[in-house]
């Protein structure tokens, strides 16, 4: 059985048309684990990424304004809302909040090359 330190919950935010994902960007709220907090991952040079992190604020599930300012540039100013929730207690289980099933390897953990080929694929349950 997974220990308490193995329990992670994450909520990913994006625009209705997933414009952040299409740019290789993730905005996530993670609870549990050693890097709990808000994470904004932006494209860097070559195959690297730049990550901005902020701690979780008590009682709020809304992304911090500091991270929203950066993310909305890539979303064309669109509102960002939860689109994916993931829970891990030993193995990961991800579900779209918009009713879509996801393939076993999440586009959020795939390499940039895999993301570009998987974006147009139909999805299947993990």
| CA neighbor of 72 nearest in space, from 10, 30, 13 | 13
Contact, 28 vs 13, CB < 8 A?
Answer: yes
Read off the pTM. Answer: 0.71
Neighbours of 31 (CB within 10 A): 13
Residue 34: pLDDT above 70? Answer: yes
The string of pLDDT tens digits covering residues 59-91 is 778 999 999 999 999 999 999 999 988 877 766
**Helix or strand holding residue 18 (H, E):** none
- Extents of the domains making up the chain: 4-118
Residue 1: pLDDT above 90? Answer: no
């Amino acid at each position: 059985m997974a220990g308490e330190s193995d329990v992670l919950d994450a909520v990913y935010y994006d625009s209705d048309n997933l414009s952040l994902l299409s740019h290789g960007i993730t905005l996530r709220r993670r609870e549990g684990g050693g890097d709990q907090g808000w994470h904004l991952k932006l494209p860097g040079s070559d195959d690297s990424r730049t990550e901005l992190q902020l701690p979780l604020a008590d009682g709020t599930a809304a992304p911090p304004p500091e991270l929203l300012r950066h993310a909305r540039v890539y979303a064309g100013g669109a509102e960002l809302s939860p689109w994916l929730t993931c829970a891990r207690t030993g193995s990961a289980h991800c579900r779209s909040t918009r009713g879509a099933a996801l393939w076993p390897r999440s586009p959020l953990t795939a390499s940039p090359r895999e993301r570009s080929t998987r974006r147009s694929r139909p999805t299947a349950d993990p």
